A and B are shown apart, each in its own frame.
Chain A
């Protein structure tokens, strides 16, 4: 009779998050601030990406106490991150009742060849991508939501823009191909053929796609929305800024009124210092989180 964890139910929650902002939080107090600002969900973490970057070493799933405490204080959905390929961290997060799991390149990968078989879980997953092939591989493994990776913890939106433009341009290319070219396209991008056919036919990803990795201002959020993403993840950008409350609220409004420059101008005033950004070219290849994922 009642069917839980169906594909419709898993992708359905992502549909409900659209047009919203998902904020990284590390304490119950931050979670309350995010909810109060109008976040549509929070990501429970031990450290935000910029601190993970600064600390170095191995970054793992958060202490379950933190995830639990955050789930206890907010009524909006709570997401949590597991390492790439670490299906036991995912099992633990599912048992805690997390609403979505992010199999995330922000944490140190636990498997250097394979991602989690996400179909096996009742809880839905979101995964990062830099291009269409990566997005479709993750969806093939069971991801019910996608986010462009950007470069986490940098406060620099350039990589998020590049990844979104790449995905959109690859979708447009598929749409113009005659059917006999699609198998080779699938081979070249390393994507499941059935999903390539679906994208060629529908002209869009089969699941919701958010932007992540480097969004620090309301204008950044609106830029990504105008480029066609369904919503925004903000990691370090809020709680590493001078006035988290005001900035969080402004980014929420920007994700809704992204086409209205007058409103964007109004809400961008007096937000205090944004987080300090990092120029991507100063990062060594090994410091780029976006390259994690197979």
Chain B
């Protein structure tokens, strides 16, 4: 059966996630209000500006509804800003976030735009071929709790993590044609539907 996946469409690169998911045969719902969450089997929080998305999540309590669904087991995958929104703790920040994963994120951790980069990243869970990872004013994870599994590290910085039904990357798999990261998330969705 076709998977029905939501992409949070408040601000940021949601169109790119939509295109990848459609390529992979999913039905994609752009989520702007709580009503759009009905019946989705997974949710992607795209890259964008985490402060802007955080503000917009508070409008009509959309963020709180997402928290409820994630706590009830809905698979959620956050990229870049999405990783920050999923983190329980964010360094030097009091911005609104969902706070679902037991870890501390550091914002703009690699520096400003002129320090943004792309690089080959080894992700053992996705096979031996590295993933071309695009980091844009990217965060990384400074510290993780015992429940968080580290899936990839770039120059000693944690950039890809999983905690049960929750997945977060500091890079942007939606900006490259390699679909393995999205496929990995859809596998989590599949496992979750089987339960």
Contact = CB atoms under 8 A, between A and B. Distances in A.
Interface of A: 1-6, 8-9, 12-13, 15-20, 35, 37-41, 71, 75-77, 94, 97, 99-100, 122-124, 249, 252-253, 255-257, 260
A6 B56 contact: no
Contacts, number: 122
A256 B32 contact: yes
Contact of A20 (B11, B15, B115): B11
7 contacts: A9-B117, A16-B47, A19-B10, A20-B49, A97-B114, A252-B56, A260-B33
Contacts of A255: 11
Contact of A99 (B33, B52, B113): B113
A6 to B, nearest CB: 6
Nearest to B133: A2
A257 B30 CA distance: 12
B174 to A, nearest CB: 9
Nearest to B95: A75
Contacts of B80: 16
Contacts of A94: 114
A18 B15 contact: yes
* Residue among B11, B59, B175 facing the most chain A CB atoms (10 A cut-off): B11
Given A4-B116, A16-B136, 7 more contacts: A8-B118, A8-B175, A18-B48, A77-B137, A97-B112, A97-B114, A256-B11
Nearest to B49: A40
Contacts of B10: 19, 256
B93 interface: yes
Contacts of A9: 116-118, 134, 136
Interface string B140-170: 0000000000000000000000000000000
Nearest to A267: B59
A16 B107 CA distance: 15
B52 A12 contact: no
A20 B136 CA distance: 16
